[in-house]
Amino acid sequence: MRVERARYFLAAVETGSLRAAAARCGVSQPTIGEQLRLLEEELDVALLTRSRTGVRPTPAGQAMLDPFRRLVHAEDLVREAAMESSGAYRGSVRVGGVSVTAELIVAPVVGRLRGEHPGLRFTVREGASADIEAAVQAGELDFGVITTPAEPAGDGLQRIPLVTAPLGVYVRADHPLAGRGHVHWRDLEHWPIVTMRRGTVLWDVLHRHVPEPDVVVEAMSARTVKVMVGQGAGLGVLARFETSEDVTGLAFVPLRDVQPVELCLTQRRDGQPSRPARIVRRLVRELAGELVHHGHGR
């Protein structure tokens, strides 16, 4: 049995969607659908129930989750040993990220690889999504992990969706909006607002929906937004990605009339990344999948 089919199945179950699974695995939706069909044919059992709302495992598919995970893990161990012996864990990798992806995704991957493979060198650049994509496009970075902009990717760039989270406002627990089940953009018009700096995806989203927002703080990081909110500076417009050192005493109220915020991997379509860059990119995508699996997003 081809192990990548097991990977496709696990991705489909974890994302609940063939489209999302295809994006995570870097293949087309027809490809992943055909490979899953062949997997079911090979095992002579139905693994997935397909519907208009997505996919979910059948009882037989549920029973296969652990065996498939062990199979995939075993292949990963073989590949790790092969790359270690061939010197693939040497060289330089240049990664870009926005503040939330740098903390949630890039830092854990870099920390793991630096500890296990000291011959692997990193350059990590933090900035706004547009700045990171421009650097990837210019060849200054191997890839980036960013908040997906509303505009299409630039020429020669490819975006691979990783995880989404609801957009909303962070308020102090004693704020009048704290007890609401949700808010609309019009509810923000008369409150001071703390959000990410000009040029970021969140800045653009805010200004598309609120004509003249009273922005009192333009922050460089999601944590700064939350700290400012905690000190009473205003409402914090952010996506709900929980970080390792979150600020206490805040309530998150989702915005009703807006699409969720998506994190994506951005890379060049042309050219072949170095082997170290491919290793780091694969781990980034795996960690994003784990965030989905543990309820940090979708």
Same domain, 251 and 270: no
Same domain, 8 and 142: no
| CATH code, 212 | 3.40.190.10
**Residue 64: φ, ψ to 5°:** -90, -5
Same domain, 124 and 95: yes
Q: Which of 97, 8, 80, 83 is nearest to 47 (CA)?
A: 8
Residue that is last in its domain, among 54, 71, 86: 86
Same domain, 141 and 278: yes
Q: Measured between alpha carbons, how far is 200 from 129 in angstroms, rounded to an integer?
A: 6
Same domain, 160 and 188: no
Same domain, 200 and 247: yes
Same domain, 177 and 244: yes
Same domain, 129 and 237: no
User: What is the pLDDT tens value at each position of the chain, 298 positions in all?
Assistant: 789 999 999 989 988 989 888 877 777 889 999 999 999 999 999 999 999 889 999 999 999 999 999 998 898 788 777 766 666 567 788 999 998 898 888 998 888 887 777 778 888 999 889 999 999 998 899 999 999 998 888 888 989 888 888 999 999 999 999 989 999 999 999 899 999 988 889 999 999 999 899 999 999 888 899 999 999 999 999 999 876 567 889 999 999 988 899 999 999 887 677 778 888 888 888 888 777 654 455 5
Same domain, 93 and 27: no
Same domain, 179 and 254: yes
Q: Measured between alpha carbons, how far is 223 from 170 in angstroms, rounded to an integer?
A: 11
Amino acid 271: pLDDT: 66
User: What helix, strand, coil percent values describe the chain, rounded to 5?
Assistant: 45, 25, 30
54-57 and 48-51 strand pairing:
antiparallel
Residue that is last in its domain, among 51, 86, 121: 86
Same domain, 197 and 243: yes
Residue that is last in its domain, among 86, 121, 147: 86
**pTM, 2 dp:** 0.69
Q: Measured between alpha carbons, how far is 50 from 40 in angstroms, rounded to an integer?
A: 13
| CATH code, 72 | 1.10.10.10
Which residue range is the domain that position 295 belongs to?
A: 89-164+260-298
Same domain, 61 and 38: yes
What is the count of structural domains for the chain?
3
